[in-house]
Structure 1
Amino acid sequence: YSLAEVALVTPMRDGMNLVAKEYVASKVDKRGVLILSERAGAARELSDAIIINPTDMGQLAEAMHEALVMPEDEQITRMTAMQALVKRYNVFSWTKLFMNQLAYTKMKQHTLATEMLTPTVTTQLLADYHAAKQRLLLLDYDGTLVGFHANPQRAEPDQELRHLLRALAEQPNTRVVIISGRDRTTLDKWLGDLPIDFITEHGVWLRAAGQEWELFQALRNDWMRDLRPVLELYVARTAGSFIEEKDFSLVWHYRRADADLGEVRARELLAHLSFMTANTDLQVMEGNKVLEIKNAGIHKGAAAARWLAAYPADFMLALGDDRTDEDTFRAMPPEAYTVRVGTGARSLARFNIGSPIEVRQLLRKLLA
């Protein structure tokens, strides 16, 4: 290093490249020229080097000539600046930077953490429920009232759940709303005879108890014939995945696919669909082992807000388990009890509960 008048460092791809920095650090007399590939991470710091594209042979030759004929005073100026940078950003500086960033990340995690629904909180929730004059319960279905099933059509409600929902809905001044991404036909078949409200397909179809189904707003579905072939391509490439077609949305399910392959294909499909739906009135939503393409602006939160306006309540409880339920939590007023089902995920919900089993236990306590 100390003998070399020019250092030529030309990686095609390099995270940092310490050779370039070692060369700079060794030049005690500050004479010497560094030629550095723009594809090395160090190029973002050592801007006083001659930066080149390593695949451009003409540029490389010109850089070598420039280095060999560079005046001594310019060499000293460039090397002094690079040495100051190398000295400043030493191993201790990098360690401090990383540790500070980790500490900041952990602090942000704590601020976004959701409190567990402890016995103390549960006691207060029950007291508020029984003291309320009007109650509104917004309940997600899959992953909240029932566990997930490899075949979504086999996740039908058991008799216990049906009796529980009926008992809650028949309590005075209590509205029970199933707010789900499922299609209205399935939920109507499973629970339509109960005196409860429905918000289905993430807010597309609405039905208050005893009334007819209505659309949240006029929607179009002519785009489905263009995007379905894309989903069919990923079904062919991902064993175990399948397509669900709703009235105004398409869903790609990969719960039955190999876990690793499913996640890889989901990321690929998400990127593909995001590109295709850019600058359109469509959106791509991620759920629990699903990707859904639907009309933009229609989501659980918008429908929940409509229910909150139509049926004011002084006790509100919203339960959900995945990203689509975050829209519901966002729409709820601060005093509402919002509960995320499952552990580990950050959420806008105030509280967290472990599983659908615990959800049913909580709902049974409301009847006590």
Structure 2
Amino acid sequence: MTKTPEPGPVPAAYDMIVVSNRLPVDYEEGPDGSTGWKSSPGGLVTALEPIMRAADGAWVGWAGVADREFDPFEHDGISIIPVPLTPDEIEDYYEGFSNDTLWPLYHDVIAPPSFHREWWDAYVRVNRRFAEAAARAAAEGAVVWVQDYQLQLVPRMLREQRPDLVIGFFNHIPFPAYGIYSQLPWRRQVLEGLLGADVIGFQRAADAGNFSRAIRRLFGYTTRGSTIEVPDPDGSVRRVVARHFPISIDAAGFEEIARRPDVQARSREIRESLGNPSTIMLGVDRLDYTKGIRHRMKAFGELLRDGRLSVEDVTLVQVASPSRERVETYRQLRDEIELTVGRLNGDQSTLGHQAIAYLHHGYPREEMVALYLAADVMLVTALRDGMNLVAKEYVACRFDNDGVLVLSEFTGASDELRQAVLVNPHDIEGLKDAIELAIGMPHRDRTRRMRSLRKRVRENDVANWSATFLETLTGTGRITPGVSEALALSLDALAGAERLLVALDFDGTLAPIVDRPDEARATPPARDALIRLAATPDTRVAIVSGRALASLVDVADPPEGALLSGSHGVELQLDGGSVTVDLRDTEREHLRRLTRIVEEAAATVDGAWVEFKPAGVALHTRRLSPHVGVALQQDARERVTRALRGITVRAGKSVIEFAVRSNDKGESLRRLRQHAGATAVLYVGDDVTDEDAFAALEDGDLGVKVGQGKSIAAHRVRSPEEVAELLGLLAERRATAVGDPPGWT
């Protein structure tokens, strides 16, 4: 515990800000009257600490003490900005609206939610206070990452105050289906609040889908795959990404604790204190009605009652940490659970063997790891859970590759941990069968399952989660070399599509960027893979480029039967030949004037050149220094906008394009999908202009961004060489799924 800091100055301007209901520190008063701050490390803190230190970050949140105002201070290298709450606000905003309205509603109304207008008013007021604190602390263009359901209005409030900010939001709990969500009287206001973010993250794909459907039902906004098109007040359209980023744990940290001799010794002590039963089953939960504690106790009690299990052989340890004990629903739940434990122990325990060891405490991490090591079977039977990190903690600790995880299919963790014994906790008979299966599972099967589970948890740890989210939000971060496991799994799913369209940008994707665009060529491995894909049954290949169609045909040397899109979709070459959009007379006149203006701008700087297209022109600045190129592009943009109206301007890598007919790669991809009759699409691109194509992807499609830069694509590779690797992998798996093309050996 560090001493209470002296009052600090007004917050500085920070480049990275995390906003959450609680700070990563707790305020404590010692027995001698001393006061100070103690770290309350969790998975989120572990993931974000190094990022925040590197980015000069600050954490905005409530200190956990009512009616106390604290000045900003620094703790363990992180700037802390406390937000005060009054006792009434804690009761109405936190215990009321957050935990007695939103929590039960978002967990499928397992308990009935309460709707009170004064709670909503407090929620709005407190959200505004958090937003104002973040806005004051944020530097120009800073990244602000808002956490969880207590602060769903903050993104829009921030955007209204500071439109320069990059705003992310992550929802740690489920998002319900529209039929449930629609019960909320303030349903539109909450969605409007969330849509202030640039990226909205969810635990499961189903949650992101529920959110997008709610947006369509209530606002009618266009949604394409994971992208929502949100109209801004100035008439422009802002793209918001809403997709799943499953959270995880510090897997290496848990395993490190589990390997300590003192923790392993404590694990053996736990088994001895329980009478060394053949099997210890473990449940670890907050005392919450969503966790399914009653269901697992009912199943266990019936197994003992019916003689399918013996209390001499099997003991259930249930850790139920205190939770929201000022809320009446939780007080009632505690009474019910403790009554059930008493009855079951009274009916089934013997003098030497207790049926259930019930522990209503919170424990330090080392003790929890010892419990995980002592447990032969881990029971995670939540009725609804955004993720459930306990399941991942158990797996991370089992470095001995032993133990069985029984996991509810209604947890987010079940999407990833498929080698667990998956159960429907509402089905008591099925739950009883699953418990018996876990207890009697042969050692070889336990080992096989646990190895698979541990591989998944290690590779998708909390650091990977935060990096993936921030990479999507900001376009920065380290890209994993080669084809990542997550991308390979997505390719597996795509390979089995009924009719597949493989569409790719050319420059920077199939072909490395070169100084002379007429010398660009696809890498030989990429071209070979495209030829194999084009020859595979029910598979079409398309190249989608900003180049004029004639130039694209010349440099791409497309495989037989390939579909081509040039000039950002103005030109299409389908199976029946080329198609060019006919221009109206006014558009032809605008094109003539546009060409003259851009040529005049290009003539002012040696090395710039103009590419002519059917509906526009492109000014290339690749041969210029970055500073000179940017200045020339800005000069050309100003000349065009002063002289002509209704011109579409599109900036790319070292190029700015002007068009008299609005079209983009997204519209082109939709036309290609329709022509090919594709049931699934892979799109790969490297440029800003490819974002329109990524936005056009639908559920079941796959987008891959090449290189750095902000993108709504779900996956990334580093270079055209890795695009070739990706295509080769897809060609192999597609051939396995639908059969080899004629002539393959």
Task: Please indicate the TM-score interval, normalised by the length of the shorter structure.
Answer: 0.5 to 0.7
The reply to whether residue 98 of structure 1 matches residue 462 of structure 2 is no
Match 2:563 to one of 190, 197, 217: 197
| CA-CA distance at 1:251 after TM superposition | 1.1
Tell me what 1:274 maps to: 641
User: Structure 1 residues 106, 259: closer, same or farther in 2, change over 3 A?
Assistant: closer
The reply to whether residue 119 of structure 1 matches residue 484 of structure 2 is yes
The reply to whether residue 221 of structure 1 matches residue 588 of structure 2 is yes
Tell me, yes or no, if the aligned pair for 1:216 and 1:303 is still in contact at 8 Å: no
| CA-CA distance at 1:193 after TM superposition | 5.8
Match 1:286 to one of 645, 651, 674: 651
The reply to whether residue 359 of structure 1 matches residue 723 of structure 2 is yes
Amino acid at match of 1:272: R
CA distance in 1: counterparts of 2:681 and 2:697, whole angstroms: 8
- 1:143-202, Cα deviation, whole Å (9 max, x unpaired): 111111111111133544433321110011101010001111122234256221011110
After TM superposition, the structure 1 = structure 2 runs for residues 165-314 of structure 1, keeping only pairs within 5 Å, are: 165-190=530-555, 191-192=557-558, 194-209=560-575, 211-216=576-581, 218=583, 220-278=587-645, 280=646, 282-314=647-679
- How many residue pairs match? The answer is 272
Tell me what 1:154 maps to: 519
Amino acid at match of 2:567: E
User: Structure 1 residues 301, 216: closer, same or farther in 2, change over 3 A?
Assistant: farther
| CA-CA distance at 1:227 after TM superposition | 2.1
Amino acid at match of 2:670: A
CA distance in 2: counterparts of 1:96 and 1:195, whole angstroms: 54
User: Structure 1 residues 225, 217: closer, same or farther in 2, change over 3 A?
Assistant: closer
- 1:100-130, Cα deviation, whole Å (9 max, x unpaired): 8745246537362569576221221231133
Identity across the alignment (%) = 26
CA distance in 2: counterparts of 1:132 and 1:113, whole angstroms: 32
CA distance in 1: counterparts of 2:577 and 2:623, whole angstroms: 35
CA distance in 2: counterparts of 1:146 and 1:156, whole angstroms: 5
- 1:250-290, Cα deviation, whole Å (9 max, x unpaired): 11111001221111121222233233333x3x211111111
Tell me what 1:346 maps to: 710
Tell me, yes or no, if the aligned pair for 2:598 and 2:640 is still in contact at 8 Å: no
| CA-CA distance at 1:216 after TM superposition | 4.4
Tell me, yes or no, if the aligned pair for 2:619 and 2:656 is still in contact at 8 Å: yes
Alignment partner of 1:237: what SS?
A: coil
The reply to whether residue 327 of structure 1 matches residue 695 of structure 2 is no
Q: CA RMSD in A?
A: 2.7
Compare 326-335 and 167-176 and name the one that shifted more. 326-335
Tell me, yes or no, if the aligned pair for 1:139 and 1:318 is still in contact at 8 Å: yes
Tell me what 1:133 maps to: 498
Compare 264-273 and 100-109 and name the one that shifted more. 100-109
User: Structure 1 residues 217, 325: closer, same or farther in 2, change over 3 A?
Assistant: farther
Amino acid at match of 2:572: L
| CA-CA distance at 1:362 after TM superposition | 0.4
CA distance in 2: counterparts of 1:99 and 1:227, whole angstroms: 41
Tell me, yes or no, if the aligned pair for 1:128 and 1:315 is still in contact at 8 Å: no
Amino acid at match of 1:358: E
CA distance in 1: counterparts of 2:695 and 2:143, whole angstroms: 27
CA distance in 2: counterparts of 1:300 and 1:103, whole angstroms: 29
CA distance in 1: counterparts of 2:549 and 2:595, whole angstroms: 21
CA distance in 1: counterparts of 2:699 and 2:570, whole angstroms: 25
User: Structure 1 residues 95, 256: closer, same or farther in 2, change over 3 A?
Assistant: same
- 1:15-69, Cα deviation, whole Å (9 max, x unpaired): xxxxxxxxxxxxxxxxxxxxxxxxxxxxxxxxxxxxxxxxxxxxxxxxxxxxxxx
Alignment partner of 1:229: what SS?
A: helix
CA distance in 2: counterparts of 1:106 and 1:292, whole angstroms: 26
Amino acid at match of 2:508: G
| CA-CA distance at 1:94 after TM superposition | 10
Alignment partner of 1:223: what SS?
A: helix
| CA-CA distance at 1:232 after TM superposition | 2.4
Tell me, yes or no, if the aligned pair for 1:137 and 1:317 is still in contact at 8 Å: yes
CA distance in 2: counterparts of 1:95 and 1:338, whole angstroms: 33
CA distance in 2: counterparts of 1:274 and 1:203, whole angstroms: 23
| CA-CA distance at 1:206 after TM superposition | 0.8
Runs ≥4 residues deviating over 6 A: 93-96
Compare 333-342 and 134-143 and name the one that shifted more. 333-342
CA distance in 1: counterparts of 2:621 and 2:627, whole angstroms: 11
TM-score, structure 1 length as denominator?
Answer: 0.67
| CA-CA distance at 1:245 after TM superposition | 1.1
User: Structure 1 residues 98, 123: closer, same or farther in 2, change over 3 A?
Assistant: same
Tell me, yes or no, if the aligned pair for 1:165 and 1:176 is still in contact at 8 Å: yes
Gapped regions of structure 2 (runs ≥ 5): 1-131, 145-164, 169-197, 199-469, 733-745
- 1:72-123, Cα deviation, whole Å (9 max, x unpaired): xxxxxxxxxxxxxxxxxxxxx9998134874524653736256957622122
CA distance in 1: counterparts of 2:558 and 2:731, whole angstroms: 22
| CA-CA distance at 1:336 after TM superposition | 1.3
CA distance in 1: counterparts of 2:705 and 2:644, whole angstroms: 29
After TM superposition, the structure 1 = structure 2 runs for residues 76-91 of structure 1, keeping only pairs within 5 Å, are: none
User: Structure 1 residues 276, 341: closer, same or farther in 2, change over 3 A?
Assistant: farther
Tell me, yes or no, if the aligned pair for 2:494 and 2:700 is still in contact at 8 Å: no
Tell me, yes or no, if the aligned pair for 1:221 and 1:249 is still in contact at 8 Å: no
